[in-house]
Amino acid sequence: MPTQALLTEAFKIQQPKLITLLEIFITDAIILRYAGHESNIAWFTYSSNAWQAATYTAFPIQLDAIGQQNTEGRFESQTIRITNIDKGIGDYIRQNDVRGNKVFITGVLENLIADAADRVFRWKYRIANASAPKSEAQFQIQSYFAETMSEVPLQIRGKNECGWDFDKDGTDPVAAQTCGWYSKYAHVYYSGSEASALDSTNYTNASITKCDKGIDTANGCKAHFNQNDTNKPNLRAQAYQGIPAKPIQRITI
């Protein structure tokens, strides 16, 4: 849900400037950060399960249809070109396979950059292909949705059937951001004893390693997101009841 600060800005007559922030993970330690702005932007990055301060270098970024589907329902890939790339990074890209590495595209308002929660959007991509001819780096990026499309809850599913993969241990990046049972709930509030998050009183067969994709079933959402626990996110009332409507942290793909 948008924060109150974002809602306030949305109803102003003079709309604030939207800044696009780009993070490209060459490795877990080498991360390129750019801001589509005339000057550097001090914002945040998500690391070690927390938001950390980070600086984004001013760079002309032009990305269209971020996170959108085309008329056929497909998530189009996009190409990012970065000029004057550092020689060491260019050499690394030429010598190593960076395909599959993460790319984050985040939208923030120019006058709301003090709090990571005030971001307008945050989309997660993968590097599908990369090259570094001379001093330029080129990245073709693809939405996580493009490769998990069959797992995304489309409208053809029954309203009581969850289409997400079960987040049983936090290792699946899509499940961890969608279902989020382990990553955003059990591991956060019951670290080391995740089974304590289960509603084993009403669902005696509830398991921390499997899910039957239902809501009020033996191994569904109510069994995993214990309804008597105030830390749990609320569940949707109608369509796709098995998906938490208010995740503890915003869903980012």
- Which structural domain, as residue segments, surrounds residue 208? 152-253
**Are 21 and 135 in a shared domain?**
yes
Dump pLDDT digits (tens) for 129-161: 888 887 888 888 887 766 554 444 444 445 566
DSSP per-residue letters across the chain: ---HHHHHHHT-SSPPPEEEEEEEESSSS-EEEEESSSS-EEEEEEETTEEEEEEEEE------STT-B-TTS-B--EEEEESS--HHHHHHHHHS--TT-EEEEEEEETT--S-GGG-SEEEEEEEEEEE--TT-EEEEEEEHHHHSGGGS--TTS-TT---SPP-SSS-SHHHHHHT-IIIIIIHHHSTT-GGGGS-TTT-TT--SS---S-SSSTTSHHHHTTTT-TTSPPBPSSTTTTSBSS-SS----
**Are 131 and 232 in a shared domain?**
no
User: What is the total count of domains within the chain?
Assistant: 2
**Are 31 and 128 in a shared domain?**
yes
Query: Mean pLDDT in each 10-residue stretch from start to end of the chain (253 residues)?
Result: 76 80 89 90 85 90 64 71 83 87 90 87 87 85 65 46 79 76 88 90 90 84 85 54 42 42
pLDDT of residue 71: 56
- CB-CB contact of 124 with 38 (8 Å): no
**Are 127 and 24 in a shared domain?**
yes
**Are 122 and 161 in a shared domain?**
no
Residue at which a domain ends, from 117, 147, 177: 147
Dump pLDDT digits (tens) for 44-69: 998 877 889 999 999 877 666 666 66
pLDDT of residue 64: 60
